[in-house]
Structure formats: structure tokens, C-alpha cells
Amino acid sequence: MKIKLLKRVRPANPDLLLPGWASRRNRNSGRPRVTVITSALTFLLLAMSGSFAADSAPAAQRPLKVLYVTCGGYHDYAAQAPYLTTNISQLVNATFDVKVGLEGLSDPRFAEAYDAVFYNVCEEKAPDQLLDNAMQTARNGKPTVMMHCSIHAFRNSPKIKEWETFCGLRSKVHDPYGPFTISKVDQSSPITKFLPQDWKTAGDELYQTIAIDPQSHQLLRVKSPVDGRQHIVCWTSQFGQGRVFCTTLGHDMKTCATPEFRQLLANGLLWACGKLGPDGTPAAGYSAARTRL
């Protein structure tokens, strides 16, 4: 069974606009001499007070602002939200606003103030307008991260086919909870380059792949310990102008508590925002909290 594809277009440049330092630099010509002296004195005082970072420090960037949407059954989302957002913030230059419930999606501009939206939800249905707003936001170019049950969500909604296209993969059931080994499909992806070839989780739900969008880029797969079938558990896709990073892993803390999974989410977020370098390291200024403004 194949997922019906929506028309896909090349993404808009996802780079964020930064403060216009370059344009400000050259405005001093023609200033009165007293202003130059005052500026020099200010510099000296600031330097003495330690307000300037060392020359070798990476250029600080505004943190990525991420909207983390979470709700639904079967999972301890109250524990996952603070754990994941805190840990990802310690790996990359990002801050999170956690919103419990889908009500916020009723506003078509719900993500306007954010650089990315992170879905960790497990609702079986939602009003059509809310899902339309979520998907249109991504189509318009907002980077998206999808985790675990977000790929199984909204199965009783008339919008489910479209949501599956948004995810870039169709899955409806999972193997019984248990340990399994995760293998890399793409050896050179910057998102998963840091992982060993085989990475083991002590326990998770292996979502069975029914169909994957041919345009989805497969990153990680698992051979089912139950029946030997291969299932894709991490991939990227493009939805309209928006980049989407997805993983079906993360049912509970067994996988979430591994450093590999936390780094995977951090890298996926950076990639979706266009801030992950080809070598798998963050773009300058996005590597960790210490580089924040």
C-alpha cells in the first residue's frame, strides 16, 4: 500500500535572520570625535567588567525557540516533557515552551513566534481545523519534529491520510514492548553519523512500517525480534516547504534516558531548522547552552 503524496516543493531557506551587525559596523564614519572616545571608554569598561566573551568564543546566536506540544494516553508525557526539553536544551542552543493539549492549535498562527514545533502526542482524534492548522503551518515552512505516538495519532480523524503524508510513513500497530537493536540505513547522514552501526534499546515499542513515502529519507531501521521484518524507526521528509524529522522510538524512559536518543532528537531538531552541519555538528552558535546570548 502506497501513501498518496502531496505535491512537494523545494524548501525555503530555513536560516534565521540574525541581528544586523554587519550593517551597523560601518555607521561610525563621520561621527564626532567625542563619540568615538566615549565608545572606546565604554568598550574598556565593559572589557574590564568581563561583559565581553573571549575572542575565541563561538558567535552567540539567539536560541531556537521550540513549541513542544504534548497530550494523550498510554504514555507518561508529564515526565517526558521536562526531561526531554531540559536535556535537548543542554545539547543545543534551544529553548522550549511546553503546551499540554491541542487547544492552542485552534489559532492558525499558533507557531508564529516559534522556530519549530515538536509533537509528542497520542490522541486518536482531533477537530479537523486543529489538524489543518498544524499541517498548514508545516507546509508553509515551519520545521517539525515528530516523536513516537505522533506517528500513530489521529487514526480516527477524517484527516488521517493527510496526517500520514505529513509524517511521511504509515504505521498502525507495534510489536510487543521489548528490547531491540537499531541499525543505520544511511551511514553518512549528519543526523545519525554519531551513532554506532548497531545501537540497542533496553525496551521500546517497535512500530511496524506499513508504507513509507518514497520521498522520505530513511535513517534508522530495526529487524523485528518477533518476526524478522524490517521497520523504519527514524526518517526525514519534506512537507510543502517544511522539513520534518520523525522517530517512532520513545515509548517510555527506557529509550528516552539513553544519550543516543537525546542526541538523535537534538540533531533532528537542528536539521529541521537548517542548523546542523554536514559533519553532524551544530552550526556556529547552536551547539549548547553556554553559547547563548
Q: Which C-beta is closer to Zn ion: that of 150 or that of 218?
A: 150
Residues 63-92 touching Zn ion, rule: CB under 5 A, are: none
Q: Is 184 a binder of Zn ion (CB under 5 A)?
A: no
Q: How far is the CB of 172 from Zn ion (least distance, A)?
A: 13
Binding piece for Zn ion, criterion CB under 5 A, among 44-52, 111-119, 200-208, 280-288: 200-208
Q: Is 170 a binder of Zn ion (CB under 5 A)?
A: no
Q: Which C-beta is closer to Zn ion: that of 208 or that of 291?
A: 208
Q: How far is the CB of 7 from Zn ion (least distance, A)?
A: 32
The site for Zn ion, by CB under 5 A, has a size of 2
Q: Which C-beta is closer to Zn ion: that of 115 or that of 205?
A: 205
Q: How far is the CB of 94 from Zn ion (least distance, A)?
A: 24
Cell triple for 69: 506540544
Q: Which C-beta is closer to Zn ion: that of 91 or that of 232?
A: 232
Q: Give the x-and-dash track for 205-224 against Zn ion (CB under 5 A).
A: x-------------------
Q: How far is the CB of 72 from Zn ion (least distance, A)?
A: 10
Binding piece for Zn ion, criterion CB under 5 A, among 16-24, 78-86, 202-210, 229-237: 202-210
DSSP state letters, the chain: --PPPPP--PPP--PPP---HHHHHGGGTT--HHHHHHHHHHHHHHHHTT-SPPTTSPPPBPPEEEEEEEEESSS-HHHHHHHHHHHHHTTSSEEEEEEESSGGGGSTTTTTT-SEEEEEEE-S---HHHHHHHHHHHHTT--EEEEGGGGTTTTTSTTHHHHHHHHTEE---BPPSEEEEEEES-SS-TTTTTS-SEEEEEEE--BPPSEE-TTSEEEEEEE-TTT--EEEEEEEEEETTEEEEEE---SSHHHHTSHHHHHHHHHHHHHHTT-B-TTSSBPTT-S-GGGB-
Residues 237-266 touching Zn ion, rule: CB under 5 A, are: 251
Q: Which C-beta is closer to Zn ion: that of 82 or that of 203?
A: 203
Which residues would be at the binding site for Zn ion (CB under 5 A)?
205, 251
